[in-house]
Amino acid sequence: MNKKKIGLTSYLGERCLNVSMAATSLLELPDELIIKILDCLDIQCLVRGVACTCQRLNQLSNAENLWKKFSDLYWLDKERKHSSDSWKENFLVWHRKWGKYIGCYAKVRSAWNKIESALEARSPGTRSSLKGPIDQGELDAIEAMMDRPLPLELACSYLIHNGQDVVPGRGSLLGNLEVYDHHSMEVAVPLAFNIKNALPKIGMLALSWCPYTNYGQVVCVSEKVGLPMGCVYYLTQVRRQKFAGYFVEASSYMEWLEKLATKLGDPELVVSSSKITRFYHEPTCVAVTRDVKVTVATSFVPSLSHIWKNNNMRTLFAYQISMTMDENVPADRSCRLLSRHWEITDSQGQYHEVNGEAVIGLYPVMKPGAKFSYCSWTPLDSDGGFMEGHFTFVNLKTGENFDVICPRFNFKCPEIILSSGDIDDELFESEDDVDDEDDDEY
């Protein structure tokens, strides 16, 4: 009772407190005070408790401001989209369609709102590729294969967007990556993809897939996988062997969806030609030397990373180096790249250096207003590490050689969980693999 008194004080001040203390029962309070009290209750207490008590409380429980709050809280509706009669009727219209998902709809819809907004601003083609809601028949078929219902948050998400169309030029929701001859575009797949590939039978559903690498992210929907229910992960692909572990992206589908929404709205996520990429730029990873500005963006490449037994691994990380020179720099500062020097340290402390001429066979010239970028990758025998180094340039006017610093940039793969199961990875194999001779750009 003391908490309710404190609540009344905060809502109505000293005058209302005096009125409430003078009353000997709840029903002696004025309507506006009772409604303020009801506003402190959740919807279950209001509908199943207070509204069933007496006629007066039943009437007061229909107050417009109460149901306006519930419409916003559970359905994110501030405008009474479905009914002009009353806020309660508006709430009930929503509830007739989404009542099963009342506990998660607002979180799922909010994440998709952020995703849609970010895509409209940064990648309209990707936004237009998002499919509408799932057909109920597909949902029933998946649940029949699983012999259980889908997790509510996952099912609710499919009822908003059921994957995306793969249309050339529109990009992919989970990002594109092009390095050398490796090309991946991780698209969000419709639920029917899982029916075709019988994935529910082995306890997983695909959330994304790449048509080039036949690889993507899956969500655990069965205990037989040996991971927590709802866990989202990549299966490592080791040809002719059992896979030995997982790269875990999120502990639940909701966490995965919210992380995706946050990432797509982050200005440090690299978007190229209105296409989402898998490169992310650390805000502090910038260095300027003799008017040459160097920035770095990195990406983990799961489709070319492996985990073997005894926790041995080979992880591959891509990086994008960008160089610019401001257009106001004097022309006599123009210079040409000659060579590169890298110092690479993995998370186990293994260190080695790489020296070589050019970058990917090119000798770019930096002059006022120039921009140049290239992508490469490096494999590590651990879960991460860092690189740093410099590029040697020659001034085109004076012939002077000088070093342009490349700031340290970090690599870190997702959490690794070793496998305790015995699921064959044939469905997840790719023709690609990482060979030791591909160690350099490098």
Q: What is the pLDDT along the chain (442 residues), one digit of tens a residue?
A: 444 444 433 443 344 434 444 445 778 899 999 999 999 999 999 999 988 989 999 999 999 999 999 999 999 999 999 888 899 999 999 999 999 999 999 999 999 999 999 999 999 999 999 999 998 888 888 888 888 888 999 999 999 999 999 876 678 999 999 998 899 899 999 998 887 777 777 788 999 999 888 889 999 988 766 778 889 998 765 443 455 788 999 999 999 999 999 999 999 999 999 999 999 999 999 999 999 999 999 999 998 998 887 778 899 999 999 999 999 999 999 999 999 999 999 999 999 999 999 999 999 999 999 999 999 999 999 999 999 999 999 999 999 999 999 999 999 999 988 776 544 444 434 333 333 333 444 3
Name the packing angle between helices 64-75 and 87-98 (round to 10°): 30
Nearest residue to 129 (alpha-carbon basis) of 172, 184, 191: 172
Close Cβ partners of 41 (under 8 Å, ≥ 6 residues apart) = 49, 50
DSSP E strand stretches across 167-213: 176-179, 182-185, 187-188, 204-206, 208-209
Please tell me the distance from the alpha carbon of residue 95 to that of residue 102, in angstroms, as a whole number. 8
Amino acid, single-letter form, for residue 253: Y
Phi, psi of 3 (to 5 degrees): -65, -40
At 79 the pLDDT is 93
The first and second tokens of residue 410, run together, are 């970090």
At 217 the pLDDT is 94
Please tell me the distance from the alpha carbon of residue 249 to that of residue 232, in angstroms, as a whole number. 6
Question: What are the structural domain ranges in the chain?
Answer: 1-61, 266-415+429-438
Residue found under tokens 């160097």: 294
At 438 the pLDDT is 38
At 15 the pLDDT is 41
Torsion of CA 341, 345, 350, 354, to 10 degrees: -10
Question: Domain 266-415+429-438 is of which CATH architecture?
Answer: Sandwich (2.60)
Phi, psi of 30 (to 5 degrees): -65, 155
- The CA-atom distances, in angstroms, between 113 and each of 103, 109, 116, 154, 318 are 17, 6, 5, 16, 30
